[in-house]
Chains A and B, each alone.
Chain A
Amino acid sequence: MPAVVAEVDVAVIGAGVVGTAVGRHLAVAGASVAVIDRAADVGDGTSKANTAVLHTGFDTTPGTLESRLVARGHGLLADYAAAAGIALERTGALLVAWDDEQEAALPGLAAKAEANGYRSARLLDAAGVRALEPHLGPGARAGLSVPDEWVIDPWSVTLAFATEAAGAGARFVLSSPVGRIATGDAGHEIEVPGGVVRARWLVNAAGLGADRIDAQLGHHDFTVTPRRGQLLVFDKLARRLLGRILLPVPTARTKGVLVSPTTWGNVLLGPTAEDLDDRTDTASTAAGTDALLAAGRRILPALVDEEVTAVYAGLRAATEHVDYQVRLHAGQAYVSIGGIRSTGLTSALALAEHVVDLLADAGASWPGHPVRSVPPAMPPLGQGQVRPLQDPGRIAGDPAYGTALCHCEGVSRGEVRDACHGVLAVADLGGVRRRTRAMNGRCQGFYCGAAVVALVAAETGTDPAALTRAPQ
């Protein structure tokens, strides 16, 4: 008999933004929950390479589940971020048309926004566009202003959901790729390296692996075709070049790339859209970088004169369907969630509500009592927030908050120390980066790399070789 790792009301496969949101909702509602992921940390897959836009859903296909959940999720996540102290900047967005075809598409997009229930979009002429964004390249013809598209810190969102879920009793079964799933009358037995997780109900939020989990339960409703998005992060000195998210006007020929401020004070350029077969290929390519720089040079010429701070690529869990694929299989006590694209960050809380409603429809009930829970207080990581190094009160209370460790990102020793002792343990340097911003800046560790490794190793009792995966 394999060891029983956990025996719970609901097992959620996938600890990305969607899985943690579902886990949180269920745990707070009184269910016993296990959230399972192959990675050693939450939010370490598709969720970590998001464009970080809090979408209104103005350009989703009207009448779809995505349209409804993004619209609802926008408000839910904005409120949640405010309560948890997660950085959010109400920048607004501007779609910029650069040619006849794009200009002609704008009125249709404005009508689509209305059809999606979004009524604040406004068409602008060339002068109106230029007045909003004076650093745009020559040739901007017209625009559509969408004032409620905002930017948010995407890493803190997943971490907050997971922290709150854990506080409400959810178990996180990490570093645990799922093996065989046995589904019977008594529920599910999910094989993980440490044994099995037994659950009455199963929620599949496995992102890039969702179709494979689905297939194990006998369903072939969608196929995940990973779509790689390469992104360039520019130096904070570029932040002055734009006020809002600059969105492309999608046409039949191309979807285009966006230029966006980030809550960390950088500027993001991307993503590319490349359909791949390999579900692990997050490499950047010379062609991708060149294409992004060419696009960036047109949109915001001064941007490409600034230094690039980071180049990364994420995989979107695209499917052959236009809409999200959320299905209840009541007879199997199973809900599958597929095809959640980059809008999943915005819709996560609404998606969690929807999934819990589906479970209730199928007769699920929880023996436990609902938990009184409030969003956890997340570290202030936003450039617009008061960071510990800027906070005399915190420094007076503990000088470690006044001692800079990562200079480029303004991260104190105290913050990195705290990240090592949080509810969700730091597994590697990536986890430290996502929790604190340390080493994410322009020098990429030239100044602080060794000091961060030494501190994290000491605080967590980890061998530095393991943290850097150095051969022994």
Chain B
Amino acid sequence: MNDPAVLVVGAGPAGLTAARELAAAHVGGVLVVDREGEPGGVPRHCGHTGFGLQDLHRSVTGPRYARHLADRAQRTGATLRLATTVTDLGADGTVGLAGPGGIERLRPRAVVLATGARERPRAARLVPGDRPAGVLTTGQLQQWVAAGLPVGRRAVVVGAEHVAYSAVLTLRHAGVATVAMVTALPRHQTLPAFALATRLGLRVPLRSSSRVAGLHGHGRLEAVEVEDLLTRAVERVAADTVVFTGDWVPDHDLARRSGLAVAPSTLGPVTDGWGRTSCAGVVAAGNLVHPGETAGRAALGGRAAARRLADDLRAGAGVPAVRGVPLRVAAPLASVVPTVVDPADPPPDLLLRTAAFGARRTVVARQDGRELGRQGLRHAVPGRSLRVRGSLVAGADPAGGGVELSLG
């Protein structure tokens, strides 16, 4: 096929939204490539509602949201190619594609990486013990149930973020009782109503300040060892299924193999607020950049990156690499996105993550010891994003040192 102006890698919320914006901006051909046989990314398998609130301003189920984004991108003029893998971004500006139609190389003017994020599986969390069947992540569980595959009878859910509560509902739908939720944190990280309904309505006990210390079972999972981190007491909970939820890690394989600089705090590519990366011509957006955010947040990121990319393409001077001052956080803050800002051109929002609970805290931005600004927070919950205004760092000296965000 003809070389597209923009190749979008990944047909999830960020990629499809970016493709739609780019096609609407008439920058030339927009080709979205996804390795799965169906577009939509993670929401495809999420049967619950709540998708679209941030970007579409209405609430639909995951599959409907996925279809809507795919249809909208195509109606606007973007082309979708599925079951096709982007194998590499060549140093010569070409991109390798492989799929049932064969292998080819394209030369787009720009590439948008929107490869998303996945949950860390059991092995990456270094959970010791046997290696029985019945050990899943939420994503796996959702696909398992959607495919009508048998799951089990008694499950332990690891985590207490929104996604963990979603896993409990998926399990229930599949006829599996959740016998415990386990979190290392002192309390849950979801909305109080979800937590209450799960604890009282579904009678799922939450074991806070606890961790999974081992899995047991030959063939099939038989028991999960739960350790109370305060008392060090260990209990064997009988279960044939364990679901590891959350703990998102960006799918950064293509980005890293292509030489993009990666931020240690998120493991996503280093970007400014507009998705520009360390590599000219390559833009990154969505949960590849900020793992664990909602689909809507990913879509908004795709839109912002695409609008700026369209401006760059129309200006004709090429798509620049990221530049500006580095942005970093001090504990208990865990990460901030973007990781670079141009003080003259900050993005509307900065997305923060914290490692510890806190209420009514203030975020303070400082550069070289000088306070640039501060903003109050309504809450600080680990695993949920905290948004502050990008203008907080607008006063930074472009020639100065890194800007640090801390809790005041």
User: Which residues of A line the B interface, CB within 8 A?
Assistant: 233, 236-237, 280, 282-286, 288-289, 307-312, 389-390, 392, 395-396, 399-400, 402-404, 407-408, 410, 429, 442-447, 449-451, 453-454, 464-465, 468-472
Contacts and interface: CB of A to CB of B under 8 A. Distances in A.
B128 A451 contact: no
Contacts of A233: 123
Contacts of B308: none
Given A450-B140, A468-B150, A289 B102 contact: no
A308 B128 contact: no
B240 A471 contact: yes
A307 B124 contact: yes
A305 B364 CA distance: 30
18 contacts: A237-B253, A237-B257, A280-B218, A283-B129, A283-B216, A399-B101, A402-B98, A403-B100, A404-B98, A407-B85, A429-B133, A446-B140, A450-B146, A451-B147, A453-B149, A465-B150, A468-B134, A470-B152
Interface string B80-104: 0001010100000000001111110
A400 B37 CA distance: 13
A237 B126 contact: no
A390 B103 contact: yes
Contact of A445 (B87, B103, B121, B220): B121
Contacts of A282: 130-131
Nearest to A237: B256
Contacts of A308: 123-124, 126
Contacts of A389: 85, 98
A234 to B, nearest CB: 10
Contacts of B100: 395, 399-400, 402-403
B126 A451 contact: no
Contact of B249 (A307, A468, A471): A307
A309 B124 contact: yes
A237 B251 CA distance: 12
A29 B91 CA distance: 54
Nearest to A470: B150
A402 B152 contact: no
A407 B83 CA distance: 10
A107 to B, nearest CB: 38
A447 B134 contact: no
A470 B103 CA distance: 39
A447 B139 contact: yes
Interface pairs A-B: 9 shortest CB-CB? A399-B100, A444-B121, A450-B143, A470-B150, A469-B220, A402-B100, A465-B150, A450-B147, A469-B133
B220 A284 contact: no
Interface in B252-297: 253, 256-257
Contact of A471 (B87, B102, B120, B220): B220
Interface in B126-169: 126, 128-134, 136-137, 139-140, 143-144, 146-147, 149-153
B179 to A, nearest CB: 14
B213 interface: yes
A407 B87 CA distance: 10
B150 A446 contact: no
Contacts of B152: 470-471
Interface in B302-321: none
B38 to A, nearest CB: 11
A333 B170 CA distance: 60
A307 to B, nearest CB: 5
A308 B37 CA distance: 28
A465 B151 CA distance: 8
A447 B98 contact: no
A286 B149 CA distance: 32
B101 A311 contact: no
Contacts of B240: 470-471
B134 A469 contact: yes
Interface residues of B, number: 51
A77 to B, nearest CB: 28
B219 interface: yes
B67 interface: no
A444 B122 contact: yes
Given A389-B98, A451-B143, A444 B123 contact: yes
Interface in B220-254: 220, 240, 249, 253
B35 interface: yes
Contacts of A311: 123, 126, 128
A265 B122 CA distance: 21
Contacts of B249: 307
A285 B131 CA distance: 12
Nearest to A309: B123
Contact of A395 (B103, B137, B213, B214): B103
A444 B242 CA distance: 14
Contact of A464 (B119, B129, B149, B214): B149
Nearest to B99: A402
B118 interface: yes
B149 A446 contact: no
B128 A283 contact: yes
A280 to B, nearest CB: 7
A56 B358 CA distance: 59
Given A237-B253, A444-B123, A468-B134, A449 B143 contact: yes
Contacts of A289: 126, 128
Contacts of A444: 121-124, 137
A471 B137 CA distance: 19
Nearest to B154: A471
Contact of B83 (A284, A403, A445, A469): A403
Contacts of B151: 470
A471 B217 CA distance: 13
A454 B147 contact: yes
Contacts of A449: 136, 140, 143-144
Given A237-B253, A449-B144, A288 B99 contact: no
Contacts of A396: 102
Given A284-B128, A402-B98, A392 B103 contact: yes
B290 to A, nearest CB: 18
Contact of B133 (A312, A410, A450, A470): A470
Given A390-B103, A469-B133, 14 more contacts: A283-B129, A286-B214, A395-B100, A402-B99, A402-B101, A410-B85, A429-B133, A443-B121, A446-B140, A447-B118, A449-B136, A453-B149, A464-B149, A472-B150
B123 A450 contact: no
B123 A288 contact: no
B135 to A, nearest CB: 8
Contacts of B120: 307
Contacts of B35: 404, 407
B149 A450 contact: yes
A312 B127 CA distance: 11
B31 to A, nearest CB: 18
A309 B99 CA distance: 25
Contacts of B99: 402-404
Given A283-B129, A392-B103, A404 B85 contact: yes
Interface string B104-123: 00000000000000111111
Contacts of B102: 392, 395-396, 402
Nearest to A464: B149
Contacts of B153: 471
Contacts of A410: 85
B150 to A, nearest CB: 4
Contacts of A469: 132-134, 219-220
B29 to A, nearest CB: 23
Nearest to B121: A444
A449 B140 CA distance: 7
